[in-house]
Amino acid sequence: MGSGLDQLREVLGEVSDLQEAIRVLLWDQETYLPAGGFEGRGAVLSTLGRRAHDLFVSDQVTRQLEAAEAEVSSLDFDSDEASLVRVTRRDQERERRIPSELVGEMAEASTAAAPVWREAREKSDYAMFAPHLARNVELSLRRAEAIGFESRPFDALLFTEPGMTTSQLEVIFVGLKEAIVPLVKKIAAKADAVDASCLQGDFPEGPQLGFVNTVIKSLGYSFEQGRMDISTHPFMIGMNPGDVRLTNRVSRDLLTMAIFGGIHESGHGIYGQGISAALARTPLWEGASNGVHESQSRLYENLIGRSRPFWKHWFGELQALFPKQLAKVDAEGFYRAVNRVAPSLIRVEADEVTYNLHILLRFEIENDLLEGRLRVEDVPDAWNAKMVEYLGVEPPNAAEGSLQDIHWSFAGELASFPAYSLGNLISAQLLAAIRKDLPDLDDQVEAGEFGPLLGWLRERVHRHGRKFTPAELLLRVTGQELDARYWVAYAERKFGELYGLN
Amino acid sequence: MGSGLDQLREVLGEVSDLQEAIRVLLWDQETYLPAGGFEGRGAVLSTLGRRAHDLFVSDQVTRQLEAAEAEVSSLDFDSDEASLVRVTRRDQERERRIPSELVGEMAEASTAAAPVWREAREKSDYAMFAPHLARNVELSLRRAEAIGFESRPFDALLFTEPGMTTSQLEVIFVGLKEAIVPLVKKIAAKADAVDASCLQGDFPEGPQLGFVNTVIKSLGYSFEQGRMDISTHPFMIGMNPGDVRLTNRVSRDLLTMAIFGGIHESGHGIYGQGISAALARTPLWEGASNGVHESQSRLYENLIGRSRPFWKHWFGELQALFPKQLAKVDAEGFYRAVNRVAPSLIRVEADEVTYNLHILLRFEIENDLLEGRLRVEDVPDAWNAKMVEYLGVEPPNAAEGSLQDIHWSFAGELASFPAYSLGNLISAQLLAAIRKDLPDLDDQVEAGEFGPLLGWLRERVHRHGRKFTPAELLLRVTGQELDARYWVAYAERKFGELYGLN
């Protein structure tokens, strides 16, 4: 490769180093940072964020991009080099529109909001957090305006899903709502068909966490290139190819929280650990989009982790850890229990069927905030009204309502929720393709052989990192554009069988 | 204050932010970084180090320093502003001489050396670590040459002890050796006077660590502004005034390791937490020197933590945690046990009397390496020979010999050991001054009242941070220059009484 590309790689490496430092600091902030450290941390994140931004948008990078573009013009569409240049160009053109002061303000506001969100949620005190949400809306709008949009600010913030628009999302959600609401009603009429009482009880945390770690290791998550800690809200954060970390949380009373939280995050982690190391220290060392990332966590959490063959394999080991607590249930009963459908308050504990309605609610509220139809102080009322309308349940307090998610403490980063629903849809579409190539998938899962699935995902999805847009990737891998009918068919088949609806 | 100083503060704040990020990354590296993460981490530390360095030595800072100097020229010597300018000037003149490539190489070499040192120590394989020590010597020499020195490279590296020279240190060590060697001999003749067998046994780690945390909290270390983790080699690292962290290690067989390691690090931590928050994000938010820092850890660890009144207060609580294991000893017996003098192999486990000889040995070896009298491959032999000569014991392997300290994995940073002995000397001189102001100190310690001591140190030492040189600080606080006779008198009195030598 010529020297333009080499120089570009070098400076992108420095940008990446600064961003990696930010990620370590964010991980630290959510895991081990002492209470007194939050105040000082904001300035550090702000300085690093501004310096990474300033370097990335510098005229130097613009010139190197131009030189590199000339060098890669003859290369195949899917070469690392050609992708590096086009993705960097796309990112840089967007970031050049965002003033570095705004980047610094976003970092500071996020750091200021984090401990307040934590305390407000503990105290269920929405008024305490409201100013930080207001600041988030303000910064998100300023960011959207800087990036540019035709009529809907949400479009600008959706750059994390290249190619997706707010209107497309609205169409997708209407379709989902039309499929889910009747399904939920049919299930409600047969609610007694599934008994999930075995999931509640007294389950000491240590064995729970040990079990989860055994499971995710067998799925393919490497603890040599990662680790698992405890945080309020579970997350995955990748520092570099050798250091992709997860967090989890655990409830002594509810067996599913740590298990499915852990499997979910491991899906993200396995993706991160599978990105080609050759892409490290470039903008390509990331998932294709948040939605594609979520497709991996959802695939492992739901399509595999809540499948019958999965629990045929793992239930014995779990029962051996909690012989008394799980005495009255077998693998089939446990499989049914972890798939119980019931409208509930907390998104991250929602079942597969109702989950997308939680996202729809947030998508609508964020759009209403950004487009001025909803005031920050009215969010809890709007939230509760929608919960009643879509799910038929009403949060008794803000902690179980509008304060439940950490996301709104990330200032300037509204519009992040739709990725979760996109992830559900993509995961079902991928699974259909996987089943064509691995017709014995269920037998493999039942035998605890997760290697073939991992190999398929590594080869088709993970290693490419951010080289392809979600649409390109989906077309490459499944031969089709995004199609929500895969997920709807999956849900109707699985839950139809579980609840005897057919 | 005028705008020159304000501008200087702003850019120093950014330098400080980059350095704070480095410190978080270093903490992470020693505590939670997964094995696979070391390789990628080097580049990040290198980038941050170079950027902090480049910004600090920039012409912009030089100009701002000149403007600020004019603004503070009429200010009192000990104002924050005047000190900020003069200390920054001193640092910046030195750092301007060090090429930023060298700073980056030091960071990368340190990161590369860290896991190798860990593994080499585990395997007791000196040859495995030798190339990293050779690289350290090379980088230390290049750094010393860049800083400049007349005849001894060690002088240049001693900038961490402003005002101290290699020759002065040699004089101090000769004096110490002349006092210590006869004292050790007299003690050896009465070795049976102290029985330390109660310290060995089976002490579960959890209660040990709980006890240490109770103790250091009562000494004044705040867990709101800090935390305690486990690492191979205990250390303190301060991120910002609200986040000053400690690490410790614990042995199930040996009761003293965690207790005195923890108290030692808490002395550093209490110092860090006590520096005026007004000095944050400036070069003054640090200890006056490594030696002065060590005086605080030594004061708490030895002069307080190994004193009779201290154990009169704490022994009951410790015994209650380990009633069986400590059944046959009382407070006086425990006090005697933790003060047993016996030449031994490991510096961090050495008693107060022989400790300085461990430092002398390292001081001589480092000088011999830097001045070309010793080859890296001959270090284990030189080490062992000196151990026999000074202490009469010979390491059976490199893990208990030349591989025991983490310090030589910090590339470019030889010359760090003398601070430990300087700390011992300063702590004894400070204690003499403290006793004049707090004649009831022993009664307070026996009553578990550590507030007056903390208040004295906060007011006289901690809050000033790096405003004064060690010599200035000592003169301010004790009215005298550094005088090793305080420590010698302390040691002769304490151990004379303990071993019945008089």
Say whether B37 and A242 touch across the interface (CB within 8 A).
yes
Spell out the per-residue pLDDT of chain B, length 502, in tens: 457 899 999 999 999 999 999 999 999 999 999 999 988 898 999 899 999 999 999 999 999 999 999 999 898 878 999 999 999 999 999 999 999 889 889 988 998 998 899 999 999 999 999 999 999 999 999 999 999 999 999 999 999 999 999 999 999 999 999 999 999 999 999 999 999 999 999 999 999 999 999 999 999 999 999 999 999 889 999 999 999 999 999 999 999 999 999 999 999 999 999 999 999 999 999 999 999 999 999 999 999 999 999 999 999 999 999 999 999 999 999 999 999 999 999 998 899 999 999 999 999 999 999 999 999 999 999 999 999 999 999 999 999 999 999 999 999 999 999 999 999 999 999 999 999 999 999 999 999 999 999 999 999 999 999 999 999 999 999 999 999 999 999 999 999 999 999 7
The domain ranges of chain A are 3-97, 166-499
- Beta pairing, strands B228-230 & B243-248: parallel
Backbone dihedral angles phi then psi of residue B306, each to the nearest 5 degrees: -110, 30
The 10 Å Cβ neighbour count of residue B108 is 20
CA-nearest of A369, A428, A358 to A393 is A358
Say whether B21 and A44 touch across the interface (CB within 8 A).
yes
Nearest CA in chain A to B273: A36
Any CB–CB contact under 8 A between B75 and chain A?
Answer: no
Beta-carbon contacts of B466 under 8 Å, excluding residues fewer than 6 positions away, are B83, B87, B279, B283, B284, B285, B286, B287, B288, B289
Any CB–CB contact under 8 A between B77 and chain A?
Answer: no
Sort out which chain B residues have CB atoms less than 8 A from A38's CB and list them: 242
Partner residue facing B21 (CB), from A48, A223, A225: A48
Res B2: pLDDT: 54
Task: State the nearest Cα–Cα gap between A272 and chain B, in angstroms.
Answer: 13
Sort out which chain A residues have CB atoms less than 8 A from B281's CB and list them: 43
Res A435: pLDDT: 98
Say whether B36 and A226 touch across the interface (CB within 8 A).
yes
Global confidence as pTM: 0.92
Task: State the nearest Cα–Cα gap between A233 and chain B, in angstroms.
Answer: 19
B466, burial (CB in 10 Å: exposed 0-12, middle 13-18, buried 19+)? buried
Task: State the nearest Cα–Cα gap between A95 and chain B, in angstroms.
Answer: 21
Both tokens assigned to A430 = 């991928």
Q: Which of A95, A105, A265, A294 is catalytic?
A: A265
Q: What is the SS3 assignment for A201?
A: coil
Task: State the nearest Cα–Cα gap between B109 and chain A, in angstroms.
Answer: 17
Any CB–CB contact under 8 A between A245 and chain B?
Answer: yes
Task: State the nearest Cα–Cα gap between B97 and chain A, in angstroms.
Answer: 23
Say whether A243 and B281 touch across the interface (CB within 8 A).
no
Partner residue facing A34 (CB), from B14, B44, B227: B227
Say whether A242 and B281 touch across the interface (CB within 8 A).
no
End-to-end alpha carbon distance in chain A: 60
In single-letter form, the type of residue at position B358 comes to H
For residue B189, CA distances in Å to B194, B338, B424 come to 12, 19, 25
Any CB–CB contact under 8 A between A77 and chain B?
Answer: no
Compute the count of residue pairs across chains A and B with CB atoms less than 8 Å apart. Answer: 127
Say whether A34 and B280 touch across the interface (CB within 8 A).
no
Q: What is the SS3 assignment for B236?
A: strand
CA-nearest of B441, B424, B407, B443 to B488 is B424
Any CB–CB contact under 8 A between B30 and chain A?
Answer: no
Low-confidence spans in chain A with pLDDT less than 70? 1-2
Nearest CA in chain A to B39: A242
Q: Helix H segments across B148-280?
A: 153-157, 166-189, 205-219, 256-274
Any CB–CB contact under 8 A between A206 and chain B?
Answer: no
Nearest CA in chain B to A12: B47
Handedness of CA B238, A43, A100, B52 (dihedral sign): negative
Res B1: pLDDT: 46
Any CB–CB contact under 8 A between B348 and chain A?
Answer: no
Nearest CA in chain A to B32: A227
Contact criterion met (CB below 8 Å) for B181 and B341:
no
Please, what is the Cα angle at A482 between A479 and A488, to 5 degrees?
Answer: 115
The C-alpha atoms of residue B250 and residue B262 are separated, in whole angstroms, by: 9
CA-nearest of B338, B351, B341 to B311 is B338
Say whether A37 and B239 touch across the interface (CB within 8 A).
yes
Partner residue facing A25 (CB), from B24, B223, B242: B24
Res A233: pLDDT: 85
For residue B163, CA distances in Å to A238, B90, B156, B168, B482 come to 45, 12, 11, 10, 11
The C-alpha atoms of residue A44 and residue A107 are separated, in whole angstroms, by: 9
Task: State the nearest Cα–Cα gap between B375 and chain A, in angstroms.
Answer: 35
Tell me, letter by letter, the H, E, C secondary structure of B75-137. CCCCCHHHHHHHHHHHHHHHHCCCCHHHHHHHHHHHHHHHHHHHHHHHHCCHHHHHHHHHHHH
The C-alpha atoms of residue B110 and residue B117 are separated, in whole angstroms, by: 10
Task: State the nearest Cα–Cα gap between B7 and chain A, in angstroms.
Answer: 15
Nearest CA in chain B to A222: B36
Sort out which chain B residues have CB atoms less than 8 A from A224's CB and list them: 34-36
Nearest CA in chain B to A32: B227
Nearest CA in chain B to A55: B51
Q: Which of B12, B18, B32, B229 to mutate to test the interface with A (most CBs of A within 10 A)?
A: B32
Say whether A242 and B14 touch across the interface (CB within 8 A).
no
Any CB–CB contact under 8 A between A233 and chain B?
Answer: no
Say whether A242 and B25 touch across the interface (CB within 8 A).
no
The 10 Å Cβ neighbour count of residue B153 is 25
Show which residues of B are catalytic.
Answer: 265
Both tokens assigned to A48 = 């690093």
Res A332: pLDDT: 98
Q: Which of A47, A108, A244 to mutate to test the interface with B (most CBs of B within 10 A)?
A: A47
Residues facing B236 on adjacent strands: B246
Sort out which chain B residues have CB atoms less than 8 A from A13's CB and list them: 43, 47
User: CATH fold of B166-499, please?
Assistant: Neurolysin; domain 3 (1.10.1370)
CA-nearest of A312, A302, A309, A299 to A338 is A302
For residue A101, CA distances in Å to A92, A108, B258 come to 17, 11, 46
Beta-carbon contacts of A184 under 8 Å, excluding residues fewer than 6 positions away, are A341, A343, A353, A354
Dihedral of the CA atoms A259, A264, A266, A271 (nearest 10)?
A: 170
Sort out which chain A residues have CB atoms less than 8 A from B239's CB and list them: 37, 40-41
